[in-house]
Structure 1
Amino acid sequence: MDVNYRLLVNNTTSFEVTESESTKLNAVKVAESNFHVLKDSKPYKAEIVSADFISKKYTVKINNNSYEVVISNALDELIKSMGIERGKTKVVNAIKAPMPGLILEISVEVGQSVKENDPLLILEAMKMENSFLSPRDGVIKSIAVEKGNAVDKGQLLVEFE
């Protein structure tokens, strides 16, 4: 059975491609993310600039022109038509200690804006340092601990606005 894919380019142009059509594309990898492609006897220089595999979004440069491409299959289209967005999770508003330990370092202040994956604090537990990163973009509402504090499992550490 041939799988169908929908490619949305720059949020304006949509293409339908089958898996068998994509395997007929003559592409040779020339570097880590660079390819030489022949399509209808025409050569193209292709580079994958960025790839987000979870949301299936890619930035591709073809002959030095950049394109944003979103790839979806029948299941993705069904999920979207049902109003369910893939990869969306509930918003985290508080970070709690997953285990008892000692606060070694606090890298943020109340009122500070943070981006996803910014370091928040370091908790030492069982002789290991556990670095806590921000789960989302946001502003620090409160910090319930201080450097040197011993914390219990489930204790509030950082709260977001």
Structure 2
Amino acid sequence: MRTYLIDDEGKELIIDLTKTTVHSYDNVEYNYSTIQDNQVVNQQVVHVRKLCGQYFISTDKVAWKKIPRQDLPSRMINVDTVYNIFRGFKPSGLGGADEGELLTKMPGKVVKINVEVGSQVKKGEAVLILEAMKMENEIKSGIDGIVKAIHVKVGDTLEENVLMMEVEAN
């Protein structure tokens, strides 16, 4: 799975989880790659073990370091930089992402889709209705363009930051 780490200035770090190997119920191996300018700049294998309810991590299976249980944070601090974490997608307007990508801002259910692939849309036009927190929210196109792809269907329940639709600029 691709993970984007984007700081407040729009600089990004891309990490790909390329392989997961489950050796046993308490020992999992993760292979990661760090990508910069479409080139793999670092590859690493990390082993995670669970022992007596605690988690330990190692890169060489000799020295193990205790780590806290992770609950999938949305922000991370690395030395003096704070990163926003986005799993599986790059949000619109951040880190050079396409402004035509429409993402959920909160969990919700798709109630209505007002367009089809190939439809011409104007900036500000409601293209989808998402029910969130018992309210119907209009999801509007951020640009003038043509609907390139629709990744959801009516009735889908979505988590936060899911790519719903792509609009290609004219």
Could you tell me the TM-score, scaled by structure 1's length?
0.43
Between structures 1 and 2, the one with greater helix share: 1
Could you tell me the TM-score, scaled by structure 2's length?
0.41
Which structure has the larger Rg?
1
